[in-house]
Structures are given as structure tokens and as C-alpha cells.
């Protein structure tokens, strides 16, 4: 019974990863992420925070980097770096909150 539950959790997590990749691919192809980041560029320093959140994912790092460069050209590099770092911290915490429990269970299940 417990093994079946662990297997179901593993399949669920695999499904989430596949869905995330598909969504990231769609966002990249449609330019939605670039549009979001570009629209926050007008808010300047808030855009740094949002770009920092997007910077932590491999799928959205390139558009976020471009936004950082554009914002840094018009603002203080220290403010952009600080708010971008806080945004990256928020992004990492969001990712970690989703995977912290299930990833350790999945690794334990795979190692058996």
C-alpha cells in the first residue's frame, strides 16, 4: 500500500515537471514572459524585483537578463541588483516550497 502511494506521488511529480516544461516552452514561443518583463520595465525598480523572480528559472533567465540590462541602464545598478536579488530569493523560495517535501520522498523511494 505504501509503495503504491509513493509510486503515485512519483508519477504526480513527474507529471508536474512535464507540465512545467510544456508551459515554459509555450511561454517562450509566445513571448508572454518577455512581454510581462518588458511591461514591468516601465515600473523600473519593481521590474527589477519581477525580473529577479523570473531569473531563477532556466527557461526565463534570458528575458529576465535583458530586462536587468535595460533597467540598469536607466537606474542605479545597486538598486537594481538589490531588488533583483530579493526577487531571485522570492523565486527560489517559491520553487523550494513546492518541491522540498516531495523531492526528498522521491529520492528516498528511488534509492530503495
Considering the chain, what is the average pLDDT of its residues? Answer: 78
Tell me: the pLDDT tens digits for 27-44? 667 877 667 666 765 677
pLDDT at 49 over 60: yes
Rounded-to-10 torsion of CA 84, 45, 62, 54: 60
Supply the DSSP symbol for 43. T
Concatenated DSSP letters for 45-98?
HHHHHHHHHHHTSTTTHHHHHHHHHHHHHHS-HHHHHHHHHHHHHHHHHHHHHH
Helix (H, G, I), strand (E, B) or coil at 44: coil
Main-chain dihedrals φ then ψ at residue 32, nearest 5 degrees: -65, -40
pLDDT at 79 over 70: yes
pLDDT of residue 42: 63
10-14, 39-43, 97-101: lowest mean pLDDT where?
39-43
pLDDT at 1 over 60: no
Q: What residue segments make up the domains of the chain, in order of their start?
A: 2-111
Tell me: the pLDDT tens digits for 100-111? 666 667 677 677
Amino acid at each position: 500500500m505504501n509503495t503504491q502511494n509513493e509510486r503515485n506521488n512519483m508519477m504526480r511529480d513527474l507529471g508536474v515537471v512535464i507540465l512545467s516544461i510544456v508551459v515554459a516552452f509555450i511561454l517562450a514561443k509566445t513571448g508572454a514572459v518577455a512581454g510581462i518583463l518588458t511591461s514591468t520595465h516601465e515600473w523600473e525598480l519593481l521590474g527589477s524585483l519581477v525580473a529577479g523572480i523570473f531569473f531563477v528559472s532556466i527557461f526565463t533567465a534570458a528575458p529576465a537578463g535583458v530586462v536587468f540590462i535595460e533597467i540598469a541602464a536607466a537606474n542605479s545598478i545597486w538598486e537594481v541588483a538589490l531588488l533583483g536579488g530579493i526577487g531571485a530569493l522570492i523565486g527560489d523560495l517559491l520553487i523550494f516550497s513546492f518541491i522540498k517535501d516531495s523531492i526528498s520522498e522521491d529520492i528516498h523511494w528511488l534509492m530503495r
